[in-house]
Amino acid sequence: MRVFKILGGVLPGPVLIFIGKWLDLFTYTNLTSPVWRYDAQNIALGIGAFVAVVLSIGLNQTRKDTLRVLTWIGFGITLVLLAACWGIWFHLGPPGPERLAPTAPTVWRDVWEACFIAGMVFLVATVTVAALSLEEKSTKWIWVLVAIPVLLLIGIGIYVFWWR
């Protein structure tokens, strides 16, 4: 069982799904420009997946208190980078008529994209470190919580197929 847990933590499939869902929350907002949002999301997804795997392996035996401090530091850096994205969007102004994105000089567009990518990578790193800081508590209540819905499904199945 431990081997499957290790493989699940290192293989890119589950990691990419996990990271992709976090990135989707921010990609379709004013934090991004429609001109580069897909490219930036893909770059952040690739870098974020690599960072998540490296952090999961590298910080596996780190104390919970240290992980919590790292989580708060990452949270602060993420907020600063997201605030920079919004600040640049406000600086450039809303898009003009018939335009999808604000008209931006190349330098501002590049800084905006870099801030977004860095913010998303720090977001993924923060969530990864936060997940590592959670304690796994083994309890027998999990089996009760699994058994009740299974028994309910069996009961509903018997009712639907047997007495109807």
Is 35 part of any domain?
yes
Q: Is residue 55 part of a domain?
A: yes
Q: Which residues of the chain have pLDDT under 50?
A: 1, 3-4, 7
pLDDT for residue 14: 65
Is residue 12 assigned to a domain?
yes
> Is 80 inside a domain boundary?
yes
φ/ψ of 85, rounded to 5, equals -60, -45
Rg (CA), the chain: 22
Any domain includes 128: yes
Whether residue 154 lies inside any domain: the answer is: no
Among residues 145, 121, 135, 139, the alpha carbon closest in space to that of 49 is found at 121
Angle at 74 between CA 51 and CA 110, to 5 degrees: 70
Domain that holds residue 71: 2-137
Residue 155 covered by a domain: no
Question: pLDDT tens-digit profile of 115-148?
Answer: 999 999 998 888 888 888 876 555 565 566 666 7
Continuous H helices in the chain: 2-10, 12-27, 37-58, 64-92, 106-133, 141-162
CB-based contact 33:109 (threshold 8 Å): yes
In a domain, 91, yes or no: yes
The domain total for the chain is 1
